[in-house]
Amino acid sequence: MQLSRDELKDAYAKMRTIREFEERVHKEFATGKIPGFVHLYAGEETSAVGVCMHLGDADHITSTHRGHGHCIGKGCDIGGMMKEIFGRQGGLCKGKGGSMHIADVGKGMLGANGIVGGGPPLACGAALAAKQRGTGGIAVAFFGDGAFNQGTTLESLNFASVHQLPVFFVLEDNGYAESTSSDWSIGGHDPVLRARGFGIPGRHVDGHDFFAVHRAAKEAIERIRAGEGPQFLHIELTRYYGHFEGDAMTYRPPGEVAQARSLYDCLAFFRARVTSGSLLDAAILDEIDDETVKLIDKAVADAKAAPPPAAAELTTDVYDSY
């Protein structure tokens, strides 16, 4: 399967945007300018981008604590995202959601989720509605290795299976549910086998390789769109930061992240692959890098300059009418 030059540029730009976005949020958070908690997606870019490249406007996704990457993958506005994370006017959710609940329903992004395992039932519902209404849409439930042990996720696997819903279950296994190893916490140690136990076909893929993720997602989504029912993908990834910003990560072996960054960074791998294969010139990638820095610089500056929500916003948007 060959990606076009435009597709390659788009994939790189999206992954680069996620990385730059998260690296900047990391820096800004350390200055105390960002309220609350943030959970960064850096290192896991292949999943959001490799999956969402196959989605359109009629498709929905549900996300996790670590939702910035999924927003960018689904095409949410970068400026609106940054303002939301800073809790400012003009944020995607008017500054009422923040990092953990960032969403853009109009883009089919049904929200990051502050509850581990909160998303899969919602994805089932979005898929049920798409099937019922004949929109041709599918739903993708992104969830982590922690959520894979939640009842909501297991119920959703069964629910999607018995109703043959057009849902793609994407397990983003970054090795740690908060501080607990997924090698230990996933009973049976074989996520694909677990999905098959629900009658859902699945496969495992190395998430450091964008091309492997993109191909596996393409095949699964084609099967879903062909009416073959729910599919499952287990993506192994590396989380570059803590569970949350401020997590000292003492539970990880010393040097684990540094090694991952130097030996199997997904962006470096992508760059090497496309330049060595003469698919894209390094200069084009450099240009994307420069544009991305400018884009994020502007987003951060705009967010810092934006006013906080008006006091009257405290009690609006609770109900449609009350």
Partner 1 sequence: MSKKSFRQALNEAMRQEMERDPSVILLGEDIAGGMGAGGEQDAWGDVLGASKGLLAKFGRERIYDTPISESAFIGAAAGAAINGLRPVAQLMFVDFFGVCGDQIFNQIAKFRYMFGGKATTPVVIRTLFGAGTRAASQHSQCLYPVFAHFPGLKVVIPSSPYEAKGLMIQSIQDDDPVIFFEHKAMYDDTEEVPDEPYTIPLGKAKVIREGADVTIVAIGRMVQLAVKAAESLEKDGIHCTVIDPRTVSPLDMDTILASVRQTGRLVVVDEASPRCNIATDIAAQVAQQAFEALKAPIRMVSPPHAPVPFAPELEDLYIPSRARIQAAATEVARYTA
What six digits make up the tokens of 114? Answer: 């502050």
318 touches partner 1 (CB under 8 A):
yes
Dist. CA 322–CA 318, nearest whole Å: 9
**Shortest Å, Cβ 244 to partner 1:** 18
10 interacts with partner 1 by CB under 8 A? no
Q: Cα separation of 175 and 191, whole Å? A: 13
Cβ–Cβ under 8 Å, residues 185 and 149: yes
Asked if 82 touches partner 1 (CB under 8 A), the answer is no
Nearer to partner 1, 129 or 293 (CB): 129
* DSSP state string for 100-164: GG--BGGGTB----SSTT-HHHHHHHHHHHHHHHT----EEEEEETTGGGSHHHHHHHHHHHHHT
Q: What's 253's DSSP letter?
A: P
Residue of 75, 77, 121, 180 interacting with partner 1 (CB under 8 A): 121
Distance in Å, CB of 313 to partner 1, minimum: 9
Phi and psi, residue 187, nearest 5°:
-60, 135
Q: Which is nearer to partner 1, 5 or 36 (CB)?
A: 36
Q: How far is CA 7 from CA 13, 109, 113, in A?
A: 10, 21, 29
Q: How far from 124 is each of 117, 119, 159, 165, 202, CA to CA, in Å?
A: 13, 9, 8, 7, 17
Between 13 and 139, CB nearer to partner 1: 139
Q: Which stretch binds partner 1 (CB under 8 A): 3-11, 14-22, 126-134, 229-237?
A: 126-134
316 binds partner 1 (CB under 8 A): yes
Residue 201 sits in the site that holds partner 1 (CB under 8 A): no
52 closest CA partner among 122, 109, 114:
109
- Residue 197 near partner 1 by CB under 8 A: no
Least Å distance between CB 25 and partner 1?
A: 19
**In the complex, minimum distance from the CB of residue 168 to partner 1, in angstroms, rounded to a whole number:** 14
**Residues near partner 1 (CB under 8 A):** 60, 62, 91-97, 101, 103-106, 110-111, 113-115, 117-118, 120-130, 132-133, 135, 137, 139, 151-152, 155-156, 158-159, 162-163, 316-322
